[in-house]
Structure 1
Amino acid sequence: MHDRSHPIASEGYPFIILAAFVTLVFALIGWTLATLVLLALTLFIIYFFRNPERSVPQGESCVVAPADGRIVFLDRVEEAPMLEGPALKISIFMSVFNVHVNRFPCAGTVIDSYYKKGAFLNAALDKASEKNEQLGLLIEAGQDRKLACVQVAGLIARRIVCYPEIGDSLSTGERYGLIRFGSRVDVYLPVDFSPRVSLGQTTVAGETILGHWQ
Protein backbone atom coordinates (compact mmCIF):
# COMPACT_ATOMS: atom_id res chain seq x y z
CA MET A 1 0.00 0.00 0.00
CA HIS A 2 1.20 3.54 -0.77
CA ASP A 3 1.70 6.24 1.85
CA ARG A 4 -1.70 7.91 2.28
CA SER A 5 -0.75 10.17 5.18
CA HIS A 6 -0.40 13.46 3.27
CA PRO A 7 -2.53 16.27 4.76
CA ILE A 8 -4.45 16.58 1.49
CA ALA A 9 -5.76 13.43 -0.22
CA SER A 10 -3.95 12.95 -3.53
CA GLU A 11 -7.26 12.57 -5.37
CA GLY A 12 -7.98 16.22 -4.64
CA TYR A 13 -4.93 17.70 -6.35
CA PRO A 14 -6.37 17.78 -9.90
CA PHE A 15 -9.42 19.69 -8.64
CA ILE A 16 -7.30 22.04 -6.53
CA ILE A 17 -4.84 22.80 -9.34
CA LEU A 18 -7.63 23.43 -11.84
CA ALA A 19 -9.55 25.70 -9.48
CA ALA A 20 -6.39 27.60 -8.52
CA PHE A 21 -5.41 28.05 -12.18
CA VAL A 22 -8.82 29.42 -13.16
CA THR A 23 -8.73 31.71 -10.11
CA LEU A 24 -5.33 33.04 -11.22
CA VAL A 25 -6.59 33.65 -14.77
CA PHE A 26 -9.54 35.70 -13.53
CA ALA A 27 -7.26 37.60 -11.14
CA LEU A 28 -4.93 38.54 -14.00
CA ILE A 29 -7.89 39.65 -16.10
CA GLY A 30 -9.01 41.83 -13.23
CA TRP A 31 -12.42 40.31 -12.58
CA THR A 32 -12.47 40.82 -8.83
CA LEU A 33 -15.84 39.28 -7.96
CA ALA A 34 -15.22 36.15 -10.04
CA THR A 35 -11.74 35.87 -8.53
CA LEU A 36 -13.11 35.99 -4.99
CA VAL A 37 -15.77 33.39 -5.76
CA LEU A 38 -13.23 31.06 -7.36
CA LEU A 39 -10.79 31.60 -4.51
CA ALA A 40 -13.50 30.57 -2.05
CA LEU A 41 -14.19 27.50 -4.20
CA THR A 42 -10.49 26.59 -4.26
CA LEU A 43 -10.26 26.86 -0.49
CA PHE A 44 -13.38 24.72 -0.08
CA ILE A 45 -11.92 22.01 -2.33
CA ILE A 46 -8.75 21.99 -0.23
CA TYR A 47 -10.93 21.75 2.89
CA PHE A 48 -12.99 18.94 1.39
CA PHE A 49 -9.97 16.78 0.58
CA ARG A 50 -8.28 17.31 3.96
CA ASN A 51 -6.75 14.15 5.35
CA PRO A 52 -6.13 14.56 9.11
CA GLU A 53 -4.33 12.14 11.37
CA ARG A 54 -6.48 10.16 13.79
CA SER A 55 -5.90 8.52 17.18
CA VAL A 56 -6.91 4.93 16.45
CA PRO A 57 -8.03 2.86 19.47
CA GLN A 58 -5.78 -0.05 20.37
CA GLY A 59 -6.98 -3.63 20.65
CA GLU A 60 -7.77 -6.38 18.18
CA SER A 61 -11.43 -6.53 19.21
CA CYS A 62 -12.22 -2.92 18.23
CA VAL A 63 -14.38 -2.09 15.24
CA VAL A 64 -14.19 1.61 14.42
CA ALA A 65 -16.23 3.92 12.23
CA PRO A 66 -15.00 3.88 8.62
CA ALA A 67 -16.28 7.40 7.97
CA ASP A 68 -16.81 10.82 9.50
CA GLY A 69 -20.47 11.76 9.64
CA ARG A 70 -23.73 10.89 11.32
CA ILE A 71 -25.32 7.49 11.93
CA VAL A 72 -28.55 7.44 9.93
CA PHE A 73 -29.37 3.72 10.24
CA LEU A 74 -28.70 1.20 13.00
CA ASP A 75 -30.78 -1.95 12.95
CA ARG A 76 -31.00 -5.58 11.95
CA VAL A 77 -31.44 -6.38 8.27
CA GLU A 78 -32.41 -9.75 6.86
CA GLU A 79 -29.94 -9.65 3.98
CA ALA A 80 -26.48 -8.13 3.69
CA PRO A 81 -24.01 -7.85 0.81
CA MET A 82 -21.52 -10.74 0.77
CA LEU A 83 -22.72 -12.05 4.15
CA GLU A 84 -25.05 -15.00 4.61
CA GLY A 85 -28.23 -14.40 6.54
CA PRO A 86 -29.23 -11.44 8.72
CA ALA A 87 -26.78 -8.80 9.91
CA LEU A 88 -26.50 -5.64 11.97
CA LYS A 89 -26.31 -2.66 9.63
CA ILE A 90 -24.74 0.65 10.65
CA SER A 91 -24.94 3.45 8.06
CA ILE A 92 -22.91 6.65 8.29
CA PHE A 93 -23.90 9.64 6.16
CA MET A 94 -21.15 12.06 5.14
CA SER A 95 -22.16 15.61 4.24
CA VAL A 96 -19.96 17.75 2.00
CA PHE A 97 -18.49 19.30 5.16
CA ASN A 98 -17.19 16.02 6.61
CA VAL A 99 -13.76 14.52 6.00
CA HIS A 100 -14.30 12.08 3.14
CA VAL A 101 -11.27 9.85 3.58
CA ASN A 102 -12.52 6.41 4.63
CA ARG A 103 -10.71 4.19 7.12
CA PHE A 104 -10.58 0.43 7.59
CA PRO A 105 -13.02 -0.57 10.37
CA CYS A 106 -10.84 -3.32 11.82
CA ALA A 107 -7.61 -5.17 11.25
CA GLY A 108 -8.22 -7.80 8.60
CA THR A 109 -7.88 -9.06 5.06
CA VAL A 110 -10.05 -8.28 2.05
CA ILE A 111 -11.41 -11.65 0.90
CA ASP A 112 -14.07 -10.47 -1.56
CA SER A 113 -15.35 -7.31 -3.22
CA TYR A 114 -18.01 -6.11 -5.61
CA TYR A 115 -18.89 -3.02 -7.62
CA LYS A 116 -22.44 -2.12 -8.57
CA LYS A 117 -23.54 0.63 -10.91
CA GLY A 118 -26.60 2.51 -9.80
CA ALA A 119 -28.40 5.76 -9.17
CA PHE A 120 -27.21 8.84 -7.29
CA LEU A 121 -29.99 9.40 -4.78
CA ASN A 122 -29.53 11.43 -1.61
CA ALA A 123 -27.15 9.25 0.42
CA ALA A 124 -29.00 10.08 3.65
CA LEU A 125 -31.97 8.01 2.45
CA ASP A 126 -32.15 4.33 3.41
CA LYS A 127 -32.97 3.30 -0.16
CA ALA A 128 -29.59 4.66 -1.28
CA SER A 129 -28.05 1.45 0.09
CA GLU A 130 -29.95 -0.53 -2.53
CA LYS A 131 -30.30 1.88 -5.44
CA ASN A 132 -27.05 3.86 -5.56
CA GLU A 133 -23.70 3.11 -7.11
CA GLN A 134 -21.55 1.29 -4.57
CA LEU A 135 -18.37 -0.63 -3.89
CA GLY A 136 -18.21 -3.23 -1.14
CA LEU A 137 -15.43 -5.12 0.62
CA LEU A 138 -15.77 -8.32 2.61
CA ILE A 139 -13.24 -8.25 5.43
CA GLU A 140 -12.06 -11.26 7.42
CA ALA A 141 -10.81 -10.17 10.83
CA GLY A 142 -10.07 -13.60 12.27
CA GLN A 143 -11.81 -16.89 12.88
CA ASP A 144 -15.58 -16.43 12.58
CA ARG A 145 -15.11 -12.67 12.25
CA LYS A 146 -16.34 -11.16 9.01
CA LEU A 147 -17.90 -7.84 8.13
CA ALA A 148 -18.85 -6.02 4.94
CA CYS A 149 -17.98 -2.37 4.40
CA VAL A 150 -19.79 -0.67 1.51
CA GLN A 151 -18.98 2.75 0.07
CA VAL A 152 -22.14 4.27 -1.42
CA ALA A 153 -22.16 7.20 -3.85
CA GLY A 154 -24.57 10.05 -3.19
CA LEU A 155 -26.46 12.87 -4.84
CA ILE A 156 -23.29 14.85 -5.52
CA ALA A 157 -20.68 12.15 -4.96
CA ARG A 158 -20.12 10.31 -8.23
CA ARG A 159 -16.70 8.83 -7.78
CA ILE A 160 -15.81 6.07 -5.35
CA VAL A 161 -12.12 5.47 -4.67
CA CYS A 162 -11.02 2.23 -2.98
CA TYR A 163 -7.34 1.36 -2.60
CA PRO A 164 -7.15 -2.27 -1.36
CA GLU A 165 -7.69 -5.32 -3.53
CA ILE A 166 -8.62 -8.88 -2.66
CA GLY A 167 -5.83 -10.38 -0.57
CA ASP A 168 -4.65 -7.09 0.91
CA SER A 169 -4.41 -6.84 4.70
CA LEU A 170 -4.92 -3.53 6.49
CA SER A 171 -4.79 -2.38 10.08
CA THR A 172 -7.58 -0.79 12.09
CA GLY A 173 -8.09 2.83 11.08
CA GLU A 174 -5.83 2.65 8.04
CA ARG A 175 -6.93 4.87 5.15
CA TYR A 176 -8.51 2.76 2.44
CA GLY A 177 -10.44 5.08 0.13
CA LEU A 178 -12.72 8.07 -0.24
CA ILE A 179 -15.90 9.21 -1.94
CA ARG A 180 -16.01 12.59 -3.61
CA PHE A 181 -18.53 15.21 -2.49
CA GLY A 182 -21.12 13.73 -0.09
CA SER A 183 -21.96 10.07 0.41
CA ARG A 184 -22.36 7.24 2.94
CA VAL A 185 -20.68 4.08 4.18
CA ASP A 186 -22.66 1.03 5.29
CA VAL A 187 -21.12 -1.48 7.69
CA TYR A 188 -22.66 -4.95 8.00
CA LEU A 189 -21.71 -6.91 11.12
CA PRO A 190 -22.78 -10.22 12.68
CA VAL A 191 -26.31 -9.98 14.01
CA ASP A 192 -25.13 -10.64 17.57
CA PHE A 193 -22.66 -7.74 17.46
CA SER A 194 -23.30 -5.30 20.33
CA PRO A 195 -22.99 -1.70 19.08
CA ARG A 196 -21.60 1.07 21.28
CA VAL A 197 -23.11 3.81 19.15
CA SER A 198 -26.63 5.12 18.70
CA LEU A 199 -28.80 6.45 15.90
CA GLY A 200 -28.02 10.08 15.15
CA GLN A 201 -24.59 9.95 16.77
CA THR A 202 -21.69 11.78 15.13
CA THR A 203 -18.74 9.58 14.17
CA VAL A 204 -15.06 10.21 13.54
CA ALA A 205 -13.41 7.81 11.11
CA GLY A 206 -10.77 5.65 12.75
CA GLU A 207 -11.61 6.91 16.26
CA THR A 208 -15.27 6.30 17.10
CA ILE A 209 -15.69 2.73 18.34
CA LEU A 210 -18.73 1.04 16.81
CA GLY A 211 -18.31 -1.91 19.16
CA HIS A 212 -16.14 -4.93 19.89
CA TRP A 213 -16.00 -8.43 18.49
CA GLN A 214 -17.50 -10.98 20.84
Structure 2
Amino acid sequence: MFHKEGHKIIFVTLVIVVAGVLLADSYISIGWLRTVVMVVLIGFLIAILQFFRNPKRNTVPNDKQVVSPVDGKVVVIEEVFEKEYFKEKRLQVSIFMSPVNVHVTRYPVGGNVIFSKYHPGKYLVAWHPKASEENERTTVVVENQTFGKVLHRQIAGALAKRIVNYANFNDKVAQGSESGFIKFGSRVDVFLPLNTKVNVSLNQKVRGGETIIATK
Protein backbone atom coordinates (compact mmCIF):
# COMPACT_ATOMS: atom_id res chain seq x y z
CA MET A 1 0.00 0.00 0.00
CA PHE A 2 1.39 3.39 -0.99
CA HIS A 3 0.64 6.77 0.54
CA LYS A 4 -1.55 9.15 -1.45
CA GLU A 5 1.18 11.82 -1.32
CA GLY A 6 3.34 9.60 -3.50
CA HIS A 7 0.85 8.60 -6.20
CA LYS A 8 1.87 11.32 -8.67
CA ILE A 9 5.60 10.86 -8.06
CA ILE A 10 5.29 7.08 -8.39
CA PHE A 11 3.40 7.41 -11.69
CA VAL A 12 5.94 9.85 -13.17
CA THR A 13 8.85 7.70 -11.98
CA LEU A 14 7.27 4.59 -13.47
CA VAL A 15 6.84 6.31 -16.85
CA ILE A 16 10.46 7.52 -16.81
CA VAL A 17 11.83 4.12 -15.81
CA VAL A 18 9.82 2.20 -18.42
CA ALA A 19 10.88 4.66 -21.12
CA GLY A 20 14.48 4.48 -19.96
CA VAL A 21 14.52 0.68 -20.00
CA LEU A 22 13.02 0.58 -23.51
CA LEU A 23 15.52 3.14 -24.82
CA ALA A 24 18.43 1.33 -23.20
CA ASP A 25 17.32 -1.95 -24.75
CA SER A 26 17.00 -0.34 -28.18
CA TYR A 27 20.03 1.97 -28.34
CA ILE A 28 22.74 0.64 -26.02
CA SER A 29 24.61 -2.10 -27.84
CA ILE A 30 27.17 -2.83 -25.13
CA GLY A 31 25.62 -5.60 -23.07
CA TRP A 32 27.12 -4.84 -19.66
CA LEU A 33 26.37 -1.10 -19.96
CA ARG A 34 22.77 -1.79 -20.97
CA THR A 35 22.38 -4.05 -17.93
CA VAL A 36 23.86 -1.44 -15.58
CA VAL A 37 21.51 1.28 -16.87
CA MET A 38 18.47 -0.97 -16.47
CA VAL A 39 19.48 -2.02 -12.96
CA VAL A 40 19.98 1.61 -11.92
CA LEU A 41 16.57 2.63 -13.31
CA ILE A 42 14.75 -0.26 -11.66
CA GLY A 43 16.62 0.38 -8.41
CA PHE A 44 15.47 4.00 -8.50
CA LEU A 45 11.85 2.91 -8.94
CA ILE A 46 12.14 0.47 -6.04
CA ALA A 47 13.58 3.25 -3.84
CA ILE A 48 10.63 5.55 -4.64
CA LEU A 49 8.11 2.78 -3.95
CA GLN A 50 9.84 1.98 -0.68
CA PHE A 51 9.84 5.60 0.45
CA PHE A 52 6.11 6.11 -0.10
CA ARG A 53 4.98 2.83 1.44
CA ASN A 54 2.22 3.19 4.02
CA PRO A 55 2.01 0.02 6.12
CA LYS A 56 -0.95 -0.45 8.43
CA ARG A 57 -0.18 0.21 12.08
CA ASN A 58 -2.10 -1.19 15.03
CA THR A 59 -2.48 1.66 17.49
CA VAL A 60 -4.14 0.73 20.78
CA PRO A 61 -5.74 4.03 21.93
CA ASN A 62 -4.79 4.95 25.49
CA ASP A 63 -5.16 8.45 26.93
CA LYS A 64 -2.39 7.71 29.44
CA GLN A 65 0.19 7.00 26.74
CA VAL A 66 1.95 8.95 24.00
CA VAL A 67 2.87 6.94 20.89
CA SER A 68 5.66 7.76 18.51
CA PRO A 69 4.41 9.98 15.67
CA VAL A 70 6.88 8.48 13.17
CA ASP A 71 9.30 5.67 12.44
CA GLY A 72 12.93 6.42 13.12
CA LYS A 73 15.58 6.80 15.82
CA VAL A 74 15.34 8.83 19.03
CA VAL A 75 18.03 11.51 18.84
CA VAL A 76 17.02 13.98 21.59
CA ILE A 77 15.53 13.60 25.08
CA GLU A 78 15.89 16.77 27.09
CA GLU A 79 14.17 19.55 28.99
CA VAL A 80 13.92 22.67 26.82
CA PHE A 81 12.16 26.00 26.63
CA GLU A 82 9.48 25.74 23.93
CA LYS A 83 9.26 29.20 22.36
CA GLU A 84 6.43 29.05 19.84
CA TYR A 85 3.32 27.90 21.68
CA PHE A 86 3.86 27.02 25.35
CA LYS A 87 6.56 29.62 26.09
CA GLU A 88 7.66 27.51 29.01
CA LYS A 89 9.81 24.45 29.74
CA ARG A 90 8.79 21.11 28.28
CA LEU A 91 10.26 17.66 27.77
CA GLN A 92 11.39 17.27 24.17
CA VAL A 93 11.66 13.89 22.44
CA SER A 94 12.99 14.09 18.88
CA ILE A 95 12.89 11.32 16.29
CA PHE A 96 15.07 11.38 13.18
CA MET A 97 13.86 9.67 10.00
CA SER A 98 16.25 8.47 7.33
CA PRO A 99 15.09 8.18 3.70
CA VAL A 100 14.43 4.46 4.24
CA ASN A 101 11.93 5.02 7.07
CA VAL A 102 8.16 5.27 6.64
CA HIS A 103 7.46 9.02 6.49
CA VAL A 104 3.82 9.13 7.55
CA THR A 105 3.31 11.39 10.59
CA ARG A 106 0.71 10.19 13.13
CA TYR A 107 -0.97 11.89 16.07
CA PRO A 108 0.90 10.93 19.27
CA VAL A 109 -2.28 11.44 21.33
CA GLY A 110 -5.97 11.68 20.57
CA GLY A 111 -8.04 14.75 21.37
CA ASN A 112 -8.81 18.17 19.91
CA VAL A 113 -6.48 20.12 17.64
CA ILE A 114 -6.13 23.52 19.28
CA PHE A 115 -3.20 24.85 17.21
CA SER A 116 -1.87 24.13 13.71
CA LYS A 117 0.60 26.33 11.87
CA TYR A 118 2.93 26.02 8.88
CA HIS A 119 6.27 27.85 8.78
CA PRO A 120 8.30 28.23 5.57
CA GLY A 121 12.03 28.10 6.19
CA LYS A 122 15.47 26.73 5.43
CA TYR A 123 16.55 23.16 4.73
CA LEU A 124 19.35 22.59 7.21
CA VAL A 125 20.18 18.97 8.00
CA ALA A 126 17.46 17.67 10.33
CA TRP A 127 19.82 17.10 13.29
CA HIS A 128 21.16 20.68 13.19
CA PRO A 129 20.46 22.47 16.54
CA LYS A 130 18.69 25.33 14.74
CA ALA A 131 16.59 23.10 12.45
CA SER A 132 13.53 23.18 14.76
CA GLU A 133 13.47 27.00 14.60
CA GLU A 134 14.77 27.83 11.11
CA ASN A 135 13.75 24.95 8.81
CA GLU A 136 10.45 24.52 7.01
CA ARG A 137 8.16 23.05 9.68
CA THR A 138 4.64 22.65 11.02
CA THR A 139 3.52 22.85 14.63
CA VAL A 140 0.43 20.98 15.84
CA VAL A 141 -0.96 20.96 19.39
CA VAL A 142 -3.53 18.39 20.49
CA GLU A 143 -5.32 18.78 23.81
CA ASN A 144 -5.85 15.53 25.65
CA GLN A 145 -7.79 15.44 28.93
CA THR A 146 -5.23 13.14 30.56
CA PHE A 147 -1.97 14.59 29.24
CA GLY A 148 -3.09 18.15 28.74
CA LYS A 149 -1.53 19.69 25.63
CA VAL A 150 0.94 17.74 23.52
CA LEU A 151 2.82 19.45 20.68
CA HIS A 152 4.42 17.68 17.76
CA ARG A 153 6.48 19.49 15.14
CA GLN A 154 7.35 18.21 11.67
CA ILE A 155 10.74 19.51 10.55
CA ALA A 156 12.02 19.31 6.98
CA GLY A 157 15.58 18.10 6.45
CA ALA A 158 18.21 18.82 3.81
CA LEU A 159 16.45 16.52 1.32
CA ALA A 160 12.86 17.30 2.31
CA LYS A 161 11.29 20.09 0.29
CA ARG A 162 7.66 19.71 1.26
CA ILE A 163 5.80 19.06 4.47
CA VAL A 164 2.16 18.02 4.33
CA ASN A 165 0.03 18.77 7.39
CA TYR A 166 -3.54 17.46 7.67
CA ALA A 167 -4.31 18.98 11.08
CA ASN A 168 -6.93 21.73 11.16
CA PHE A 169 -7.96 23.82 14.13
CA ASN A 170 -10.77 22.23 16.14
CA ASP A 171 -10.44 18.80 14.51
CA LYS A 172 -11.16 15.86 16.80
CA VAL A 173 -8.42 13.33 16.09
CA ALA A 174 -7.67 9.74 17.03
CA GLN A 175 -4.35 8.64 18.44
CA GLY A 176 -2.24 7.03 15.72
CA SER A 177 -4.27 8.44 12.82
CA GLU A 178 -2.49 10.33 10.04
CA SER A 179 -1.40 13.86 10.88
CA GLY A 180 0.73 14.48 7.80
CA PHE A 181 3.65 13.42 5.63
CA ILE A 182 7.20 14.68 5.08
CA LYS A 183 8.89 14.00 1.75
CA PHE A 184 12.48 12.71 1.64
CA GLY A 185 14.12 12.82 5.08
CA SER A 186 13.17 14.74 8.21
CA ARG A 187 12.62 14.91 11.96
CA VAL A 188 9.67 15.17 14.34
CA ASP A 189 9.86 16.77 17.80
CA VAL A 190 7.33 15.99 20.52
CA PHE A 191 6.94 18.37 23.49
CA LEU A 192 5.48 16.89 26.67
CA PRO A 193 4.58 18.17 30.16
CA LEU A 194 7.52 18.09 32.59
CA ASN A 195 5.89 15.46 34.81
CA THR A 196 5.72 12.95 31.94
CA LYS A 197 7.60 9.66 32.19
CA VAL A 198 9.67 9.07 29.04
CA ASN A 199 9.69 5.40 28.03
CA VAL A 200 12.36 5.49 25.32
CA SER A 201 16.12 6.03 25.31
CA LEU A 202 18.57 7.75 22.99
CA ASN A 203 19.29 5.89 19.74
CA GLN A 204 16.29 3.61 20.26
CA LYS A 205 14.41 2.74 17.08
CA VAL A 206 10.67 3.45 17.23
CA ARG A 207 7.62 2.69 15.10
CA GLY A 208 5.01 5.34 14.37
CA GLY A 209 1.64 4.68 15.96
CA GLU A 210 2.89 1.70 17.97
CA THR A 211 5.94 2.46 20.14
CA ILE A 212 4.96 4.07 23.45
CA ILE A 213 7.36 6.96 23.98
CA ALA A 214 5.85 8.37 27.20
CA THR A 215 3.27 7.69 29.90
CA LYS A 216 1.47 9.79 32.47
Instruction: Report the TM-score when normalising by structure 1.
Output: 0.92
State the 1:144 CA deviation.
6.5
| Alignment pair present for 1:208 and 2:202 | no
| Alignment pair present for 1:82 and 2:76 | no
> Could you tell me how far apart the structure 1 residues matched to 2:173 and 2:199 are?
23
Structure 1 equivalent of residue 95 of structure 2: 92
Structure 2 equivalent of residue 169 of structure 1: 172
Instruction: Report the TM-score when normalising by structure 2.
Output: 0.91
Structure 1 equivalent of residue 5 of structure 2: 11
| Alignment pair present for 1:26 and 2:20 | yes
1:96 maps to amino acid: P
Unaligned 5+ runs, structure 2: 29-33
> Could you tell me how far apart the structure 1 residues matched to 2:72 and 2:105 are?
11
- Compared with structure 1, are the counterparts of its residues 39 and 113 closer, same or farther at alpha carbon in structure 2 (3 Å cutoff)? same
Task: List per-residue Cα deviations over 1:8-42 (Å, max 9, x = no partner).
Answer: 00111111111110111122222534333121111
Q: Contact conserved, 2:147 with 2:193, CA < 8 A, in 1?
A: no
| Alignment pair present for 1:159 and 2:162 | yes
- Compared with structure 1, are the counterparts of its residues 80 and 207 closer, same or farther at alpha carbon in structure 2 (3 Å cutoff)? farther
Aligned residue pairs total: 207
Structure 2 equivalent of residue 196 of structure 1: 199
Q: Contact conserved, 1:56 with 1:206, CA < 8 A, in 2?
A: yes
Unaligned 5+ runs, structure 1: 1-6
Structure 2 equivalent of residue 4 of structure 1: none
Task: List per-residue Cα deviations over 1:102-130 (Å, max 9, x = no partner).
Answer: 11101111111222121111102232112
Q: Contact conserved, 2:116 with 2:167, CA < 8 A, in 1?
A: no
Q: Contact conserved, 1:80 with 1:188, CA < 8 A, in 2?
A: no
1:174 maps to amino acid: S
Structure 2 equivalent of residue 52 of structure 1: 55
Structure 1 equivalent of residue 31 of structure 2: none
> Could you tell me how far apart the structure 2 residues matched to 1:59 and 1:79 are?
25
Q: Contact conserved, 1:110 with 1:168, CA < 8 A, in 2?
A: yes
> Could you tell me how far apart the structure 2 residues matched to 1:113 and 1:71 are?
24
> Could you tell me how far apart the structure 1 residues matched to 2:190 and 2:119 are?
16
Q: Which has the larger displacement, 50-59 or 203-212? A: 50-59
Q: Contact conserved, 2:109 with 2:150, CA < 8 A, in 1?
A: no
Q: Contact conserved, 1:109 with 1:168, CA < 8 A, in 2?
A: yes
> Could you tell me how far apart the structure 1 residues matched to 2:189 and 2:147 are?
20
- Greater radius of gyration (CA): 2
| Alignment pair present for 1:183 and 2:177 | no
Task: List per-residue Cα deviations over 1:42-67 (Å, max 9, x = no partner).
Answer: 11111000101112134221110001
| Alignment pair present for 1:66 and 2:60 | no
Identity, in percent, stands at 38
